[in-house]
Structure 1
């Protein structure tokens, strides 16, 4: 690849170290540079238009170029561009948003703690769980159970919660005391002759056995996404969450719901907890809280979780934890306006209705020889690719990488999670725009079938 020395691509290679990227491959192939966005579309620096079928990173719920969010940020920047919440300080935007989040929560909640990202929020949850156990005089109650293929972030602690191998390899992770139980993916993990409900029962039994083996008095919490995102859009089997919650209640173990991807309409309800009848002790939220116009995240805590922590801070004299940018006034103002837009335009209902249309369209591929499963809920879906002849002998991720490239060439940005192609477009998407994605997928699938993967 030959690039002009001062081109954006050349300067990116020279100076920019990318997230979730093969750095050596990047030095050879360079970036795709996105310059601007409008609605569900983004445009590269050569003027080519793409349907952003992943809403950025599962996150631009109200679409690109929403003037109301730009105005909310600008107005807040003029009024109070920054302030913190250390040492009893507060500002109106943080107070208004905290009240809004507590009152709209799917189950009774008490307080909001602000952070800057989903990773930071889950990292903070771990610290608070440890702090709470010490406050209760149970210093042994520190272990946290997550799930294989779950995704909860990339800080040292939150990446330990994440159950994906590439988030652990060469990082010396996971940390001790973080455990991973069965991934609730019926299509991959279910046994021959096992019904969905039987599989859900086995998942709950696996969790119960892990708790007993470790010692119930050593387990502080269980964390899970209502629907797994980066692990492959894993929709839980029927009765799964009911049975998991029964096990946790049996041993008095807290439940943390990671709503970073699911929250604010993605599953066809305002929260994924509503979709699956989950009653958590804490809810972690980010991404669509501001449609990612501003980095922002928050943790909702119920009294059961909050009160021992508050009492311990009183004993010590301070809660020795917080972030410079937490509860940032610009982020809080944008979040408030973003939630107003979601409510006023009824994007939750739109997400449910257009999501059903999207999944119906994708279901036409279920009988294709290169497709193993089509799955999803609300406006989040995945198509699992398989090779009819090479099967498991083909390296995992090879089909997904090829399909990702084919879709990009056809003006659709998806995301390959190994061999599962994810779709999570902005909630403002219209049916004709969904058709653009589906038509591009059909064309790319035809091309994929012709490719020689045995070579």
Structure 2
């Protein structure tokens, strides 16, 4: 209303308990390298790379200078029936980092848009192959694929779905892979659960392969709490998809650009999808951008066999935006020059040991790590699920560490420039606070 003088009231914050936050706001006002600075002047060690995205650390001058130079030269150029050099250069650079064959790149503005784009591409490919009856899309329980209607339809996090109706028709879900009974405190991929991939065969038997266009999974389910694929699980999914003509989409919005080692989880873990989504680390989060990498033969099926004119009726005003393209190119230069895609391999063992040293701490019921990511699962309070992790999130911030809480799971994913001293600092503080939080 006019005249309202509460400076916090107008911003309806995303994925936030707005009433609780605005009663006790915690704000970040600047950042550099591995640290944020809070509104009250404290340094906050970034244990989450912002939101899984600032992989090269904060406010890198190479990126800010590239953005500023481009903003002064070409602030915007449409990519509908036109183009500009930076978008083509970035697409070529991204394609070179993808698994063999995924060398056609469609730009978006976020992970959510990347997912909806990938689902549309899958439907377009099946139609171009004269498989137009293949319209069903399969996701997975506990999967997070952004917040578009396509993403929440194939996603499997209940809170993201329940308010918004039935979503896209013709979607279904595989069982999730989380199994505390058999896999608690595993180091690396859990040994048990590869057979859960056979749930796809169950859905094939239920619906008919001829109705299924694509399956989308996160190689590592991140936002739901760092759920790693059981040994052999991803390959088993790949085999079932191949057997039945189903496209396999990997949602690598979190795992691409060095998080688990290598440019992608697909490369690091030896299973190649047909379509791969990315965002976050693509520009080191300096400018919003996402992308979808597609196998060349799938691109050609749509583009080369369409009538003259527009082949794929989809896109965004800001697809391949000049500033985002400049940020992406600068970020890729940093990743290459500093060998950041290898950091998860170099530090992975140290990181894993530091995380697993929390075993036995109060309320900890599981620890999961891969690359430079960790999930620490806490036993829920009987009367208040999620409250313990939220309290730990606030306590960490107040003591100089940014973590992420999702349900009763703490997720850590620091910038890839992290060092051993900072790893020690993170887990030491976490251990101390776990001991005092009931």
> Which residue of 145, 150, 157 corresponds with 1:164?
157
> Is 1:424 the equivalent of 2:413?
yes
Checking the alignment, whether the CA contact within 8 Å between 1:380 and 1:424 is kept in structure 2 is yes
Q: Where does residue 446 of structure 1 map in the other structure?
A: 435
**Cα distance in structure 2, aligned partners of 1:148 and 1:106:** 26
Q: What pairs up with 1:62-81 in 2 under 5 angstroms? A: 62-81=56-75
Structure 1 residue corresponding to 2:352, chosen from 347, 354, 359: 359
5+ long unaligned stretches in structure 2? none
- State the match for 1:20 in structure 2: 15
Matched, 1:99 2:86: no
1:174 matches 2:167: yes
Deviation track 1:221-245 (CA, whole Å, cap 9, x = no partner) reads: 1111111110111111111111111
Does structure 2 retain, via aligned residues, the 8 Å contact 1:242–1:278? yes
Give aligned pairs, total.
Answer: 431
Residue 76 of structure 2 corresponds to residue 82 of structure 1: yes
Are 2:362 and 2:434, in contact at CA under 8 Å, matched by a contact in 1? no
Does residue 433 of the first structure (1) align with residue 422 of the second (2)? yes
Deviations 1:210-229 (A, max 9, x none): 12101110111111111111
Looking at structure 2, the residues matched to 189 and 83 of structure 1 have their Cα atoms a distance apart, in angstroms, of: 53
Partners of 2:119 and 2:214 within 8 A in 1:
no
Contact 2:221 2:227 survives alignment (8 Å): yes
Deviation at 1:414, TM superposition (A): 0.7
Q: Which residue of 2 aligns with 1:200?
A: 194
Using the TM superposition, give the Cα deviation of residue 134 of structure 1 relative to its aligned residue in structure 2, in angstroms.
2.5
Q: CA deviation at 1:258?
A: 1.0
Deviates more, 1:310-319 or 1:367-376: 310-319
Q: SS state of the match for residue 15, structure 1?
A: coil
Q: CA deviation at 1:328?
A: 0.6
Are 2:296 and 1:303 aligned?
Answer: yes
For the 8 Å contact 2:77–2:322, the answer to whether it is kept is: yes
Residues 1:335 and 2:324 aligned together: no
Cα distance change on mapping 1:372 and 1:323 into 2, 3 Å: same
Matching of residues 262-281 of structure 1 within 5 Å: 262-281=255-274
Partner of 1:129: 122
Which of residues 44, 49, 69 in structure 2 aligns to 1:55? Answer: 49
Partner of 2:40: 46
Q: Is contact 2:361–2:431 with CA below 8 Å preserved after alignment?
A: no
2:247 to 240, 251, 254: 254
Separation in structure 2 between the aligned mates of residue 112 and residue 24 of structure 1, nearest angstrom: 41
Cα deviation, residue 135, structure 1: 2.4
In 2, Cα distance between equivalents of 1:215 and 1:75: 54
Cα 1:169–1:23 shift into 2, 3 Å: farther
SS at 1:76's partner residue? helix
Give 1:83 shift: 0.8
Match of 1:238 among 226, 231, 241: 231
By how many angstroms is 1:441 displaced? Answer: 0.2
- Normalising by structure 1, we get a TM-score of 0.90
Paired residue secondary structure (1:60): coil
Q: Tell me: CA distance 1:441–1:417, structure 2 relative to 1, closer, same or farther (3 Å).
A: same
Whole-Å Cα distance in 1 between the matches of residues 19 and 133 of structure 2? 44
Label 1:41 to 1:288 Cα distance change in 2 as closer, same or farther (>3 A).
same
Contact 1:185 1:237 in 2 (8 A): no
Indicate the SS of the match to 2:162.
coil
The offset of 1:399, in angstroms, is: 1.9
> How much has 1:432 moved relative to structure 2?
1.1
Question: Would the aligned equivalents of 1:118 and 1:286 in 2 still touch at CA under 8 Å?
Answer: yes
- C-alpha displacement of 1:84: 1.8
Taking the TM superposition and a 5 Å limit, the aligned residue runs for 1:107-146 are: 107-146=100-139
The equivalent residue for 2:7 is: 11
Match of 1:210 among 203, 206, 225: 203
**d(CA) in 2 for partners of 1:278, 1:408:** 38
Give secondary structure in 2 for the equivalent of 1:405: helix
Q: Which runs of 5+ in 1 are unaligned?
A: none
Q: 2:36–2:44: 8 Å Cα contact kept in structure 1?
A: yes
SS in 2 for 1:357: helix
Matched, 1:322 2:315: yes
Aligned partners of 2:183 and 2:191 also within 8 Å: no
Match of 2:51, SS?
A: helix
1:290 aligns with 2:279: no
Query: Considering only aligned residues, what root-mean-square deviation do their CA atoms show, in Å?
Result: 2.0
Alignment-derived partner of residue 36 in structure 1: 30
| 1:185 equivalent in structure 2 | 178
Q: Distance in 1 between matches of 2:197 and 2:175?
A: 9
